[in-house]
Structure 1
Amino acid sequence: MILEFMAKTPNRPRTSASSGRRQDRRLILGAFVVLMLVFGLLLLRTFMNTTPPTPPISVVEQPPRQLREVTLYFASNDGSRLVAEGREIEDCLDESDCLKATVQALINGPVTDLTPVLPPQTVLRSLSVAASTLDVDFGSGLIAGHPGGTQSELLTVFALVDTLVVNFPHLRQVRFLVDGQPIETIKGHVDLRQPVPADFSLLEEEVAPSGALRQLEVGGSE
């Protein structure tokens, strides 16, 4: 009887171990998916918020400034002669700029105990070169501020002319202009109606540039 009863009793489904394992796998898989989504969102946010690195700014080093040595002539303290003074100006590639810088240095006056040869209110308006002649155009302050007198005018004229010829040997003579017009004289003592060639007789013998003198003699035959 007992055997018959057991034979007729249907099999009961297994709901213990196998079903529990399947549920655990689902939970683990779901947690893994959620974790991957969270990780992906964090990675995306980090990527979007990351500022691209700024390329390094290349700093171009400027070459050291080159200086050009020039010789300027100023009056001695007793006003009897011209004395050379060395000066350094910024090196220039364009000759016109070099000429302007040299004349301006002469206008600015000496840095030693020598005496200026141009009035402080002198203004350089322009320069122009034609062959071996340089036209120098000053403002009216050259005449208005000049003290006059034969020796003073000689020193002014030849300080400028000698300075330019020494530093720019291809020049032979200088024409003086004021406000764009040629002038006859500064204060009536030195004739400036024609371009003025260099004259080194007012210089101290030991500073007279022999090279420039030889160049001037060649040019004087023109």
Structure 2
Amino acid sequence: MPSIKRKVLVLIALLVVAFIAGIIFSPFLRETTYQLKNWVGKPSPLPPVSKTVILYFSTPKGELLSPVERKIPVKKEINDEIRMVIGELIKGPKTRSLFPTVPPETKIRAVYTKGDTIYVDFSPSIVKNHPGGTSGELITIYSIVNTLLENFPSYSKVQILVGGETINTLAGHIDIRGPFKKNPEMIEQSKILNR
């Protein structure tokens, strides 16, 4: 029996030592936990998944452009965002009070930037399916130019290419061999629509 008493005494002694050690080291454990919480810190905010852009569509008379807000997914590369914005412009307005400015059959062949200029290369269907007329060409050109320069203000010019080349005109009226700057006179002075 003395061995059982001895085992019980050793067990009690170990429990007392563990209890005292817990009391002594408890502040250090709390401080370490506090430091770990502070070290981990607060979670950083997630990057936005979408952003609002402004697209310019034709007014009913076909003489001016009206601004419309639309959300697009945020992309890592600027060229991908430019492509997304032009893609939304090609889709046209979601309301019947405004009109498309780029033929819906138009495809984007390439998008790139150089210096202060955005280059957008369209498929030949932008020419083949264009309705024509001086006003129609102006609306198409400045819909593209004003939309891009509004949403990408670090650039100041847009060069329109067709089939990988500069061409004279879209429909025989406006020379598009050089880059265009934003033209605020083409924009209707109205509030921005969310459509």
TM-score, scaled to structure 2: 0.71
Specify which structure has the bigger relative contact order, considering alpha-carbon pairs within 8 angstroms and separated by 6 or more residues. 2
**Residue among 178, 188, 192 paired with 1:204:** 188
1:175 aligns with 2:159: yes
Q: Which has the larger radius of gyration?
A: 1
Task: Please list every run of at least 4 consecutive aligned residues from structure 1 whose deviation after the TM superposition is greater than 4 angstroms.
Answer: none
What is the one-letter code of the residue matched to 1:200? P
Match of 2:66 in 1: 83
- Percent identity, aligned pairs only? 35
The one-character-per-residue Cα deviations of 1:45-68 (angstroms, maximum 9, x if unpaired) are xxxxxxxxxxxxxxxxxx797211
What secondary structure, in the 3-state scheme, does the structure 1 residue paired with 2:131 have? Answer: coil
The one-character-per-residue Cα deviations of 1:167-209 (angstroms, maximum 9, x if unpaired) are 000111111111111111101111111111111101112459x
Q: Which runs of 5+ in 1 are unaligned?
A: 1-62, 209-222
Match of 1:158 in 2: 142
Match of 2:81 in 1: 98
Match of 1:112 in 2: 95
Rounded Cα–Cα distance in structure 2 between residues aligned with 1:145 and 1:111: 21
Structure 1 residue 120, shift from structure 2 partner? 1.1
Q: Which runs of 5+ in 2 are unaligned?
A: 1-45
Rounded Cα–Cα distance in structure 1 between residues aligned with 2:61 and 2:178: 29
Match of 1:137 in 2: 121
The one-character-per-residue Cα deviations of 1:13-56 (angstroms, maximum 9, x if unpaired) are xxxxxxxxxxxxxxxxxxxxxxxxxxxxxxxxxxxxxxxxxxxx
What secondary structure, in the 3-state scheme, does the structure 2 residue paired with 1:196 have? Answer: coil
* Alpha-carbon contact 2:119-2:160 (below 8 Å) kept: yes
* Alpha-carbon contact 2:87-2:108 (below 8 Å) kept: yes
What is the one-letter code of the residue matched to 2:62? G
Rounded Cα–Cα distance in structure 1 between residues aligned with 2:99 and 2:88: 13
C-alpha RMSD of matched pairs (Å): 1.6
Match of 1:122 in 2: 106
